[in-house]
Amino acid sequence: MPLKIITYRDPQSAILFRPLKKIKSFGKDLQKIAKNMRETLVSLEGLGLGLAASQVNIDQAICVIKVGKRVRLFCNPEITFFSPEKEILEEGCLSFPDLFFPIVRSQKIKVEFFSLKGQKKMLEAEGVLARVLQHEIDHLNGVVFMERK
């Protein structure tokens, strides 16, 4: 079921500004959270490309990203490499509706993360996927996009 997006105006908004807890248990509860987050992101029909758990008031380091038709899930993601090549593009955020700022991001990154089954994985990303991953991983670390201006 789609979840409510927390905005900076909501009483629960403090969760947007602090790091989330690392996932330690990869069981059915996590699968349910992931399913609901995926449904929430898909229900937005392109209004957002990614969703971090903090944005739906869940204190776990998990995010979902939809670039193109594929929805990807990342548990405990950490960026292990940032390319020196940067790009400035305007970004917005579901938790800060109607606010847009030019944000500097690396064009390519490497991310280590875990699957829903607890398997360690690595992904090299560039372009839109790299930008969205950086935005969502920032959320998991309690960093909101306008802090990157």
Active site residues: 136
Ranges assigned E (strand) in 7-69 = 50-52, 62-67
Task: Provide the b/e sequence for 73-106 (b: ≥16 CB within 10 Å).
Answer: bbbbbebeeeeeeeeeeebbbbbbeeeeeebebb
Q: What is the dihedral of CA 130, 131, 132, 133, to 10 degrees?
A: 50
